[in-house]
Amino acid sequence: SETHVSGDAARAFVIMQLSSPFLELYRDVIKPIVEDQFKMRCYVATELYGPGAILKDIMNSIVEADVIIAEISSANSNVFYELGFASALKKPTILLAERNTKLPFDISGYRVIFYDDKISGKKEVEANLIRNLQAVLMRQGFEGS
């Protein structure tokens, strides 16, 4: 069989509502953990540049990602559309939601990292995100932190 080795870093694409407070969660928690601790490329749709349709760029990012991280607190229809696409592709997905979020029936059976949107909740969401990323990467055969 033919083996292909690539020096490209594994990719984590983050699906979320692109407004406050979710962008702060991305900037202060998700991105530093994924990039600094796991040496993966981590990005959201607003970090995609160039001409063309943004939806096409998002779909391509989901296809190319090794893991999807989805923040689902806002019940944003775009987020759920993208999450459904990732699910159809059988992408490993880590779900995040603010504690006490009422999850839709179709999502309620999945593991979700619930967090408190306050300073004391940061350590807990960081620790849970690390454990979940380690589990995903081990299943995919990546060496992780």
pLDDT tens-digit series, residues 5-16: 455 789 999 999
Structure confidence by residue, pLDDT tens digits, 33-73:
999 999 999 999 999 988 889 999 999 999 999 999 999 99
Residues 86, 15: contact at Cβ < 8 Å?
yes
pLDDT band at 1 (very low <50, low <70, confident <90, very high): very low
Here the tokens at position 67 are: 């893991």
Contact indicator for 97, 114 with CB cutoff of 8 Å: yes
For the CA atoms of 136, 78, 88, 10, the dihedral, rounded to the nearest 10 degrees, stands at: -30
Tokens 């999502």 correspond to what residue?
A: 107
CA distance 15 to 68: 7
Q: pTM of the predicted model, to two decimals?
A: 0.86
